Amino acid sequence: MQIAPPIFHAVQELAVGSLFCLALLPSGLVRRGFFQTCVLILAVAVGLGVWVSPTPPSTILLVALLLYGASLWMSDARWPRLLLRLSLGLGTLGMLAPSFMSIGSIGGSPLPSVAIAQVLNTLASALLLGSTLIGMLLGHYYLRDPQLPVALIRRLADLFLLATVLQGLLLVVNLGALYLFGGAEAVARISLLSTSYGAVFLGRLFVGILGSFVLGCVIWDTLRIPNVQAATGFFYIAILTVTIGEFLGRYLWYSTSIPF
């Protein structure tokens, strides 16, 4: 299987999750320069995907990101808010499209529950990726503006920890439901997780979910002190565990048609 589709899917999740987290930050407290930096990073990531393998959802998302980024140079504050919501909405639709297209992929029979499970996993993944990236960038921004309320980065840390818990619960529920109600074909695919894709599954579980959960707990506890600089360092580490875990999760989904 080609590795490009899982990578591009994870990039879309990163962009959508990051836009959601940016929408939670008050523009009156955080300077526009921070939002401009975040949008530039997202536009470059999505733009590389469009350059390598353009698709309608990724192209639309890139155009929306560029429009949102351009609006951040306008004096009228209404345009950035409007285009941020537009980018978030268009990106979410494009991100969830593969989940709905996956109906019937297991055993050749329609399984709407599989699509619903993948939608939930995709939303949790987007929240995890977005909160990690924006949390890391915001923590770095505290060095420039130490007067920012700690509650802002703590909000992202809460989202990060919540997303790891959701992913763990969804993993257990999805595999259990497929094993009990998915039929022989679903059971056969689950058995691949202990044979052909055993190493990938263990990486997804221990690095992407458990490792990220431990880091989320450390970040959350560090911000109780509060020590924003130390929490930012842990966010840097979390970027690695989350990126590895989400790529492995998308790889397993594209390879086995099991929601990850």
| Residue 199: burial class (beta carbons within 10 Å; 0-12, 13-18, 19+) | exposed
pTM for the structure as a whole: 0.92
For the chain (length 260 residues), average pLDDT per consecutive 10?
Answer: 74 95 90 93 94 89 96 88 95 83 48 75 94 96 89 95 94 85 80 87 94 96 93 96 91 82
- Predicted local distance difference test score (pLDDT) of residue 109: 41
Q: Which residues of 97-112 are buried (b: 16+ CB within 10 A; e: fewer)?
A: ebbeebbebbbeeebe
- Predicted local distance difference test score (pLDDT) of residue 147: 86
For the chain, the domain total comes to 1
Residue 251: other Cβ atoms inside 10 A: 22
Is the backbone peptide bond immediately before 54 cis, with ω within 30 degrees of 0? no
In angstroms, the first-to-last Cα distance of the chain is: 16
Q: What is the spatial distance between Cα 159 and Cα 156, in angstroms, rounded to a whole number?
A: 5
- Predicted local distance difference test score (pLDDT) of residue 112: 63
Local structure of residue 211 (DSSP, 8 states)? I
Task: Write out the residue range of the structural domain in which residue 40 sits.
Answer: 4-256
pLDDT tens digit sequence for 40-50? 999 999 999 89
Torsion of CA 252, 254, 256, 257, to 10 degrees: 120
